[in-house]
Amino acid sequence: MYFPALLALTTGVLAAPGYKRQNPCFVTGSEPLPEEISSLATSLANTVTCDTSQTTIDGVPDVASGGVTFSSVNFAESGQTPLAFSLDQFATATPLADTDLQLFQDELNVYLATEAGIRSVGGDLAVKVPKFFLQFQIARIQQAQGVVSDVPGLTVEHQLGKVIKNAAGEDQALLDEVNNLAVSLD
């Protein structure tokens, strides 16, 4: 099953009570993380690596997963809105089922890790729009590949709602484009 980090996020995997963990390399601040983000960060610790010689948003180290670095897919450096960047950067193949699911998972991993790092320093959470867009695209790809989740939080419809909610201030034409993607599953 792909996207174990997303699954951990939506199923609420909890750490053992009283167990003190060392923070993953991308959690550099001291702000307390919500439990779901903390658990997610822990699950990504063995998948995501950090390049502490380079930083990205709010001083978070550049992270990598499967050869994808956050700096190579960093919306904040694009000059575009988060949703415009996401639509351009994270486009899928035609037909949708031919899209490289692992690439999208690696891109999501670096966004999830960077979000945890940003939260740990109390930074801006504009990163949530591309993160939710990637989760939306992964749900679409999986459905096109015949892997339809029965977990409510992993459906195309649920992820669409997350994108639309977090991108509420974006241009209506971009929101319409996302809504059209939700019904284009082939």
| Contact predicate 53/88, CB 8 Å | no
pTM over 0.75: yes
Q: How confident is the model over 3-12, as pLDDT tens digits?
A: 444 444 443 4
- Region of 67 please: left (phi>0), alpha (psi -120 to 50) or beta: left
d(CA 96, CA 185): 7
Indicate the residue type of 57: I
| Contact predicate 81/174, CB 8 Å | yes
d(CA 90, CA 150): 24
Q: How confident is the model over 90-125, as pLDDT tens digits?
A: 999 999 999 999 999 999 999 999 999 999 999 999
